[in-house]
Amino acid sequence: MDSDTVRDFINEHDRFSASNNIRITRAEPGYAEGELEITPDSMNSRGFVQGGAIFTLCDLTAAGAANAANDGMIAMQGSISFIRPGTGKKLRSAARQLSRGRSTGVFAVDVFNDAGKLVAHATINGFATGEPLVKE
């Protein structure tokens, strides 16, 4: 199964992300990119992108990198550091695999604003399910 099929499956079936304008734009084994289209519903009370939306972008992008080979991994822990407020029209993310063993994987995710400035950095740890994400 190719990575584009897995990317499309995640984008279609992750309803929370889709309803919040978050999607994977590129996925290959160990690497993925995503984006969050900023709307008024993305904002917190201070007028910046809500931190939970940024974390969801990180989680989904890590899922793209972790599952692009269709070998089934789910998040089991995540941490995030917010560097600057999320502003602009879109936030873009890039996830890369740092480590992958038989049962766990570690992924680093960076989020950037329209100016290319770092907004957040996350580390997502995943657990290998032993089941493919997309059933053939």
- Tens of pLDDT, residue by residue over 103-128, are 999 999 999 999 999 999 999 999 99
In a domain, 30, yes or no: yes
CATH number at residue 105: 3.10.129.10
In a domain, 134, yes or no: no
pTM score: 0.96
Closest CA to 83 of 44, 57, 117, 124: 117
* Residue 24 CB neighbour total at 10 angstroms: 28
> Which tokens go with 89?
């029209």
> Which tokens go with 79?
């941490």
Mean model confidence pLDDT for the chain:
96
In a domain, 88, yes or no: yes
Closest CA to 22 of 71, 57, 51: 57
In a domain, 136, yes or no: no
In a domain, 51, yes or no: yes
pLDDT beyond 80 at 136:
no
Q: In sequence order, what E strands does the chain have? A: 22-28, 31-37, 73-82, 90-100, 104-112, 118-128
Q: What is the pLDDT of residues 91-107, one digit of tens each?
A: 999 999 999 999 999 99
For 53, the domain range is: 3-128
Cα 38 to Cα 41, 48, 79, 87, 124: the distances in Å are 8, 10, 22, 8, 23
The domain tally of the chain equals 1
In a domain, 35, yes or no: yes
In a domain, 9, yes or no: yes
Count of residues in the chain: 136
In a domain, 92, yes or no: yes
Quote the percentage of the chain above a pLDDT of 90.
96
HSE-CB of 95 using CA atoms within 13 angstroms? 39
